[in-house]
Structure 1
Amino acid sequence: MLRVPDASRSLTRHRLTMLSLVLVAIATQSGWSTDVAVPTEVDRIEEDWSLLLGEPDVENDSPQILNVISPFGTTEGEHAIFELNHCTQPEYLSGGLQLQRWTGPDTCVATTRTIDRGTLAIPAEEITYTMRMTLRDGTLYYSVRNGTSQTWGTFGDYGQYRLSVPTTATTLSGYRPDFSATESKVSFGSHRVKTFKIKQIRYYSLGKLVATDSTERVVHQYDATSAEATIPVVEETP
């Protein structure tokens, strides 16, 4: 559900009307909206993510998870990828965390990764973090904030995972929440993840929260009783 917070009551009647028109969710068979529109004036977006593990496999670096976020709702141009339990740029490394900036589906131009390359090994571990995009003074920033886990402890503080690029963009209204949900995935060992989802999305303008999208978008949910789950799984190192 989308709501406009009390702090936004100072907005003009015209702006509130515009918000009410654009913040519309359309139900789909997947259980979350298809392309919720965002406020027309927005310079910061935050996605709260939750990852609940089942039984990790240390030997195979399983599971492996990635997030995708874009200011324009496409991987054909500017976007970022956040990898958990593996790093792929410029070469594959097991464990750890890595934030990457891409300018197309085949061009990674910048990375930042954790010094701690711990590998997921704790059953039923829950990991939470926030994916953030910010426009400020002609610069687009990607960052990961407020991360909590048993494997890596807290992460994302003090600019630990932040990449930036100069931009002429003046708004993040091209962002699409369901692009993030569709492109993000458990890329390896999906049977070792119970749930992977967006819990909440927040929109800011000039430092003020202007809208909150509380639609829960479940990217992955493993059902151990399903017919697919009864098929033996053979894991290979990616």
Structure 2
Amino acid sequence: MSSNTQDAGGRLPWRAVGLLACLGVIAGARPGHAVNVVRVEEHWELRIATPEPGSDAPQATCVMSPVGDIAGLHAVFEINQRTQPSFSPGGLQLQLWNGDAPRAHVEAGADAALGHADETVSWTQVMEISGGVLRFSVSGGQSTTWGSFGGSDLTIEVPTELANLNQYDPQVSVHHSAVGYAANRVKSLSLKRVRIVSATGEMAEDATVRVVHALP
């Protein structure tokens, strides 16, 4: 497997090169052209089958990291549960973790719990870096239970020494995300597409659907 760091020519690691070069959307890109990714958008979809409000079911967790693992700073978005600083059912919570240690959390949706059959919950998880600050946020959320959600109330910022998000890997998000409780009540949890933005404003989108969970 290739390294997660930039090579001597300033090229992106293999995962980001595939996202940029293979889609062919970075204008003027050429071999060896250095590209700094400063924003990543993950578009997620959770399709509910038959929820059970009385038992706080189901519950899902989605993870996002600026690098190829979750050993350092990363974000966790919880749906229909809030586990920090202690468990509370329902609602939405965005958490900042450093490895196994929780650092901060914000929440929205009060304690409303999933209770509508065949509901679809969609949202965008955003990670961006600017001026030595790493920002995680949830935006554009749509659901029957919580209505529109996301924005300033689901945003966490933290100082960082990272210069870019070139080590981002969508497979890390998929691998560490899950329907952790009552998966039989969820039709699917999927990362529908990923968009990245460079420091010069160029964009690329990967429309590969990455399935975290699906009923047979």
TM-score range, shorter chain: 0.7 to 0.9
Output the CA distance in 1 between the equivalents of 2:175 and 2:74: 14
Match of 2:48 in 1: 53
User: Deviations for 1:147-199, whole angstroms, at most 9, x for unmatched residues?
Assistant: 00000000013x12000111111110111110101110100000000011011
Q: 1:179 aligns with which of 133, 154, 172?
A: 172
Aligned counterpart in structure 1 of residue 182 of structure 2, from 165, 181, 189 = 189
1:3 shift after superposition: 2.1
Q: Match of 1:216?
A: 209
Deviation at 1:99, TM superposition (A): 0.3
* Cα distance in 2 for residues equivalent to 1:176 and 1:40: 16
The percent identity for this pair of structures is 35
SS of the aligned residue for 1:199 comes to strand
1:137 paired with 2:151, answer no
Residues 174 and 191 in structure 2, CA contact (< 8 A), matched pair in contact too = yes
Flag the structure with higher strand content.
Answer: 2
Matches within 5 A, 1:86-101: 86-101=81-96
Please say which of residues 67-76 and 140-149 is displaced more in the overlay. Answer: 67-76
Q: Which of 170, 179, 191 is the equivalent residue of 1:198?
A: 191
Q: Partner residue of 1:17?
A: 31
1:82 to 68, 77, 83: 77
Q: How many residues get paired?
A: 196
Q: Does residue 146 in structure 1 map to residue 140 in structure 2?
A: yes
Task: Show the counterpart of 2:64.
Answer: 69
Deviations 1:43-93 (A, max 9, x none): 000000011000001111000000011111222111110000000000110
**In structure 2, distance between residues paired with 1:4 and 1:120:** 40
User: How far off its partner does 1:115 sit?
Assistant: 5.0
- In structure 2, the residue matched to 1:170 is 163
TM-score normalized with structure 1 length: 0.78
Q: Which secondary structure does the structure 2 equivalent of 1:118 belong to? A: coil
Show structure 2 runs of 5+ residues with no match.
Answer: 1-18
Query: Unaligned 5+ residue runs, structure 1?
Result: 20-38, 224-238
Is the partner of 2:54 in helix, strand or coil?
A: coil
C-alpha contact 2:58 2:183 (8 A) present in aligned 1: yes
SS at match of 1:113: strand
Tell me whether 109-118 or 177-186 shows the greater mean CA deviation. 109-118
CA distance in 2, matches of 1:16, 1:60: 55
1:16 is displaced (CA, Å) by 3.6
The CA RMSD over aligned residues, in Å, is 1.6
Higher-Rg member (1/2): 1
Residue 62 of structure 2 aligns with an amino acid whose one-letter code is N
TM-score (norm 2): 0.86
